[in-house]
Amino acid sequence: MFDPMCPSSVLPFRIGDKWTGMVVRCLEQGPRRFGELRGPLRGVTSKVLSETLRAMERDGLIRRIAYPENPPRVEYDLTPLGRSLLPLLDAARAWSREHLPELLRARQAYDAD
């Protein structure tokens, strides 16, 4: 049912990563520098953000653009592949807006038992 190479088993792992979806969302309006990502992604450490960006670059979801300036300037930009995730993130957000209160109520009731 869930072959290791089956899309249904690869995908939840990849875009399900806690920060990947948020980085895609942060880059929706255009390229950003590392520091411009760290601000909105509250709670992420530099180490974890670096690893996330490297993994996303490896997967072709973002491009790293280094400008030959002094001091050097580096920006991250969504690729068309990364941008193709936006409708999925929209759907996840819509689900959450509709159903999250119910989920949190269930959690409270469970913990109260």
- Residue ranges that bind its own copies, judged by CB under 8 A: 1-4, 7-18, 20-22, 25-26, 40-43, 57-61, 81, 84-85, 87-89, 91-93, 95-100, 102-103, 105-107, 109-111
By beta-carbon proximity to its own copies, the closer residue of 9 and 45 is: 9
Shortest Å distance, C-beta 98 to its own copies:
8
Query: By three-state DSSP, how is residue 106 classified?
Result: helix
Shortest Å distance, C-beta 71 to its own copies:
25
Shortest Å distance, C-beta 72 to its own copies:
20
Asked whether 23 and 39 are in contact (CB, 8 A), the reply is no
By beta-carbon proximity to its own copies, the closer residue of 29 and 70 is: 29
Shortest Å distance, C-beta 38 to its own copies:
11
Report the distance separating Cα 79 and Cα 85, nearest Å: 10
HSE, side-chain direction, 13 A CA sphere, residue 29: 5
Asked whether 92 and 30 are in contact (CB, 8 A), the reply is no
By beta-carbon proximity to its own copies, the closer residue of 75 and 86 is: 86
CA torsion 61-4-95-39 (nearest 10°) is -40
